[in-house]
Amino acid sequence: DASRGAPIMLHLDRLVLIASSLASAILAVAVYSRAPERVWHRLFAIHAGGVALWIFLNYLLQVANTRAEADLWLRLTHPAVALVICTCLDLFWIFPEQTQAAPLRLRIGLYAVGAVVSLVGLAPNLYGSLEIASGTILVEYGWPFQVFGAFTALTLGYADYVLIRKMPRLTGLQR
């Protein structure tokens, strides 16, 4: 019976979210403890910790029993994702060539924009509808989510540009 397989897959998805979150947290600790004096190890640890938090918030969103609970976890994912995106770009500015973090002014600007964009999660019209159906959360996003999407696309697009510019100078494993 196909209807009995759906709950098993739903629980498997939740198990994958927990395992991924735990794996990211372990990776953060492992990389940091290997060489905490290296700036890229610290940045990667913060990045992986942010990924672990983001995945865990998605798990909490999927297991939410009420609309209010789902609303809370959905809104908290935005600051976590903004942190992940900012740490990704911050890491790419320096890795694998430099031993010092990017200039402070540049980093403050990046994280300030990330903080402002993460406030999209507080917008009352972040989503038009949020339903708990068949054991999962269905969200129809409103226009503020487009602002967050533009930030994500532009920031990660710029991160790709940074890496592509570095490629001709890198060799071997660094490339």
Q: Which secondary-structure segment (H or E) carries 98?
A: none
- The residue ranking higher by pLDDT, 3 or 12, is 12
Cα 143 to Cα 122: distance, rounded to the nearest angstrom: 13
> Which tens digit of pLDDT belongs to each residue from 71-108?
999 999 999 999 999 999 999 998 877 778 888 999 99
What pLDDT is stored for residue 16 in this prediction?
94
> Which tens digit of pLDDT belongs to each residue from 110-165?
999 999 999 998 999 999 999 998 778 899 999 999 999 999 999 999 999 998 88
What pLDDT is stored for residue 173 in this prediction?
65
Q: Cβ contacts of residue 97 below 8 Å, gap of 6+?
A: 166, 169, 170, 174
Cα 34 to Cα 9: distance, rounded to the nearest angstrom: 37
**What is the C-alpha end-to-end distance of the chain, expressed in Å?**
50
> Which tens digit of pLDDT belongs to each residue from 38-60?
888 999 999 999 999 999 999 99
